[in-house]
C-alpha cells in the first residue's frame, strides 16, 4: 500500500468529515476515500504521490468521461432499437454535452469540495462538469462498473434523460449559425481576443458579427466556450430569421 493510500485511509477528523460529506452526496460511504479526495484536487496545488506522479482530478476525469459515455451508449442502444449510428451518436452527445455535465455538477454542488490555490469564484463553468466526470471516475475505481452504471442511472438518466425533449435540443449554436449563414448567404465572423482583466485565469472575449454588424458578445475561459456563448446569444436574437 503506497503512502498516499495509507494517509487517506487513516481515520483523521478531516478524512472522516470528507467521507460523511461524500456519503450525503452519493448515498453511500466510499471505501477508498483517497480516490474521492483526488477527484477534487485541482492541478494548481501541484500535488505529487509517493512516485512523483501528479495527483489531481484530471486522470479521473478522463476515466469518468469514458465510463459515462459507455453507460449512456449502452442505454440508448437498448432504449432506441430503431436508432441508427448517426442518431445514437447525436443523442449521446446531447446527454454528455459540456453544458449538461455542468448542470449535473452544479446540482450536486461539487465545486465546494475543490482544493485549489485558485478562489472558487474564479473558476469557469466547465469546472462543474469536470468534477462530475472525475467523480464518476472515482466511483468506478472504488466500486466497479456495475455500481457506477446504477449511479449514472440514478443521477443522470432517470432524472434528466427525456428522449423526445433531447431530440429538439441544440448542442452547438455555432454550428446552427454557420449552417444558417451558408443557406442565407450571410457572412459570419468571430473576432476573438484575450480579455484577462483582473481574473486569475486567462479569459477570452468574442465579438460575433453578421454582415459586419456586431450582434452578440461572449466571454469565457476558453475560445471555444466564448464563441458558443456568443453564438447562443446571436441565435436567440436572430431566431425569427433563422427559423423562417
Per-residue pLDDT of the chain (244 residues; tens, 9 = 90+): 444 444 344 557 888 899 999 999 999 999 999 999 999 999 999 998 888 888 999 999 999 999 999 999 999 999 999 989 988 998 898 899 888 899 999 999 999 999 999 888 888 889 999 999 999 999 999 999 999 999 999 999 998 888 877 877 777 889 889 989 998 999 999 999 887 666 667 788 999 999 989 999 998 888 888 898 999 899 989 988 887 7
Give the orientation angle of helix 145-152 with respect to helix 126-143, to 10 degrees: 140
**Separation CA 234–CA 188 (nearest Å):** 11
What's residue 202's pLDDT?
A: 77
Q: Which three cell numbers stand for residue 136?
A: 464518476
What's residue 86's pLDDT?
A: 86
Q: Which domains does the chain have, with CATH numbers?
A: 3-167 (1.10.1520.10), 173-242 (3.30.160.20)
What's residue 197's pLDDT?
A: 65
Catalytic residue among 61, 133, 149, 228: 133
For the question of residue 84 being annotated catalytic, the response is no
* Cα 214–chain centre separation: 29
For the question of residue 65 being annotated catalytic, the response is yes
CA atoms within 13 A on the CB side of 144: 2
Catalytic residue among 61, 65, 142, 227: 65
Q: At CB < 8 A and 24+ separation, what contacts does 69-77 make? A: 69/96, 71/148, 71/149, 71/152, 71/153, 72/96, 72/152, 72/156, 72/157, 74/149, 75/153, 75/157, 75/161
**Separation CA 98–CA 104 (nearest Å):** 10
The verdict on pTM exceeding 0.95 is no
Q: Find, among 211, 214, 215, 192, the residue nearest to 203 by Cα.
A: 192
Amino acid at each position: 500500500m503506497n503512502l498516499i493510500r495509507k494517509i487517506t485511509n487513516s481515520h483523521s477528523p478531516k478524512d472522516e468529515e470528507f467521507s460523511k460529506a461524500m456519503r450525503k452526496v452519493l448515498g453511500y460511504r466510499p471505501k477508498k476515500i483517497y480516490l474521492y479526495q483526488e477527484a477534487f484536487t485541482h492541478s494548481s496545488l501541484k500535488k505529487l504521490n509517493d512516485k512523483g506522479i501528479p495527483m489531481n482530478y484530471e486522470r479521473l476525469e478522463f476515466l469518468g468521461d469514458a465510463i459515462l459515455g459507455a453507460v449512456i451508449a449502452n442505454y440508448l442502444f437498448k432504449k432506441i432499437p430503431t436508432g441508427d449510428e448517426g442518431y445514437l451518436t447525436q443523442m449521446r452527445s446531447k446527454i454528455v454535452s459540456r453544458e449538461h455535465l455542468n448542470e449535473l455538477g452544479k446540482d450536486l454542488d461539487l465545486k465546494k469540495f475543490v482544493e485549489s490555490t485558485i478562489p472558487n469564484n474564479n473558476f469557469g463553468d466547465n469546472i462543474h462538469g469536470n468534477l462530475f466526470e472525475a467523480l464518476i471516475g472515482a466511483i468506478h475505481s472504488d466500486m466497479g462498473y456495475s455500481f457506477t452504471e446504477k449511479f449514472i442511472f440514478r443521477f443522470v438518466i432517470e432524472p434528466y434523460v427525456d428522449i423526445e425533449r433531447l431530440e429538439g435540443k441544440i448542442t452547438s449554436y455555432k454550428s446552427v449559425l454557420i449552417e444558417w449563414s451558408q443557406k442565407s448567404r450571410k457572412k459570419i465572423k468571430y473576432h476573438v481576443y484575450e480579455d484577462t482583466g483582473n481574473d486569475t485565469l486567462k479569459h477570452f472575449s468574442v465579438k460575433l458579427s453578421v454582415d459586419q454588424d456586431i450582434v452578440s458578445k461572449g466571454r469565457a475561459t476558453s475560445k471555444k466556450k466564448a464563441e458558443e456563448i456568443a453564438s447562443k446569444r446571436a441565435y436567440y436574437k436572430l431566431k425569427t430569421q433563422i427559423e423562417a
